[in-house]
Structure 1
Amino acid sequence: MKILLAGDSTVAGCPSYEYPMSGWGAHLAPETYRWAAVHNYAKGGATTESFREEGRWQELLHQAVQGDVILIQFGHNDQKREHLTARTGYAENLRRMVADVRSKGGVPILCTPVERRHFSGGIPLETLGEYPAVVRDLGGQLGLEVIDLNQWTRALYLELGEGRSKELFFHFAPGEHAHWVGGLEDNTHFHENGARLIAAHVSRELETLVLGLRVTTAVQP
């Protein structure tokens, strides 16, 4: 079976000159190679709208066959577009994606968007507004499995604390990175260390969900 990924830069692979910046989708294949192949269509800057308009969604659907799992995680860039608010354009686009996957016989699984790293008083802030809640709501309304990466990443940041959680993200002092020679403190995009942790969590969640789906299918008359 295949796992096909739709998402933004927090899921996508990055160009070599940005190494070790990485989305978690770039590290999912080593976690799932025993039972599924991964095809990552995620793209930096993508919204639920641009992903379709640029043809990437159609490319993904063209590769999907019955039984394939399609993971969908957007929100970071939708949040920046007035017409893609959580309970209007964003929710409508996710509903349409789910319907498209089901029409191909695939299994859609929604992911809440990973949280950005921003602390206040030692507590990680919620920076994505209603977007994670909308994904959870759609899961219930449409009978979908949801991997709650927003909740899981915030719990991870809290466990590590404000200092150690920096290691998950792309933080470099001036002169430490050839591309960002002036330094960079990016609390949205992951260092490969953080991306690998998230990929391992997604793999564990997926393996449980996929095995459950197979058992359910097998016992149906």
Structure 2
Amino acid sequence: MVTIHLAGDSTVAPGPLDDSGVAGWGAALHEHVTERVHNQAIGGATTASFRAEGRWQAILDAVEPGDLVVVQFGHNDQKEPEALAAEGGYTANLRTFVEEARAAGAEPVLATSVERRLFTDDGELRHSHGPYPAAVRALGAAAGVPVIELTGFTRWLYLWLGEEGSWRLFGHAHPETGAPDNTHFGADGARTVAAFVAQQLRVVRGLDDRTQPLGAWVVQP
């Protein structure tokens, strides 16, 4: 049976789905897929610390041929602009993850960072990741790796729901500051983004590519 392995930071990491705390989308992915989910994501992780703490090796040790490895970082890498610049250490580390996952027989999948919910006083949604999402897209194109566009999806989602409505995806105070937490999801946000990721993984794997077209049945002359 295929296993989906997750490498990432707090926006991917396990967490409670009863709104008693924060949860990354990886906490809810098992609700939307039939495959096993092995989630090694952890709060505060960068592409460097994830390896240093042994979490990447734990994924490689668990990988079986045909598994998927989904990698999403950036929130914390941007806090170390010298060592982990978007087109520097960050991209280099992601490229190594891709190469090692492939060497282990897995299919790597990159994901751009989920956006922070940061609205201006004029109701505009700020861009909070600078060049980091573009670096992921560029690496995906260069290395032939599928990219799940979570930056674009979450930006659309927050704007579609609106400043007030999008709060339900978060809905809690920051665990460290007590201020409204616009980075870490609650249960609703985790489940919503996980549902999108699950559908995108079906696309990546081509699971529905051979289904019978419905055009002949539903198009009227």
Specify whether residues 45 and 17 from structure 1 end up closer, same or farther in structure 2 by C-alpha distance, changes over 3 A only.
farther
Q: Which moved more, 1:16-25 or 1:97-106?
A: 16-25
Structure-2 residue corresponding to 1:218: none
Encode CA deviations 1:37-79: one digit per residue, 9 max, x unaligned. 1110001100000000000000010000111000000000000
Give the alignment of 1:32-111 within 5 angstroms. 32-33=33-34, 36-81=35-80, 82-111=82-111
CA contact (8 A) 2:17 2:186 kept: no
Structure-2 residue corresponding to 1:219: none
Greater share of helix residues, 1 or 2?
1
Amino acid at match of 1:27: A
Question: Unpaired runs of 5+ in structure 1?
Answer: 174-178, 216-221
Identity over aligned residues, as a percent? 48
Q: Partner of 2:185: helix, strand, or coil?
A: strand
Amino acid at match of 1:38: V
Question: Unpaired runs of 5+ in structure 2?
Answer: 211-221
Question: Which of 186, 191, 207 pairs up with 2:181?
Answer: 186
Q: Partner of 2:5: helix, strand, or coil?
A: strand
CA contact (8 A) 1:21 1:170 kept: no
Structure-1 residue corresponding to 2:23: 22
Structure-1 residue corresponding to 2:156: 155
Alpha-carbon distance, 1:172 to partner: 4.4
Structure-2 residue corresponding to 1:211: 206
Specify whether residues 50 and 15 from structure 1 end up closer, same or farther in structure 2 by C-alpha distance, changes over 3 A only.
farther
The CA RMSD measured in Å over matched residues stands at 2.2
- Alignment coverage as a number of residue pairs: 207
Amino acid at match of 2:67: D
Q: Which moved more, 1:121-130 or 1:52-61?
A: 121-130
Specify whether residues 118 and 72 from structure 1 end up closer, same or farther in structure 2 by C-alpha distance, changes over 3 A only.
same
Alpha-carbon distance, 1:3 to partner: 0.3
Distance 2:99 2:190 in 1: 29
Specify whether residues 167 and 188 from structure 1 end up closer, same or farther in structure 2 by C-alpha distance, changes over 3 A only.
same
Distance 1:206 1:161 in 2: 27
Greater share of strand residues, 1 or 2?
1
Distance 1:204 1:2 in 2: 16
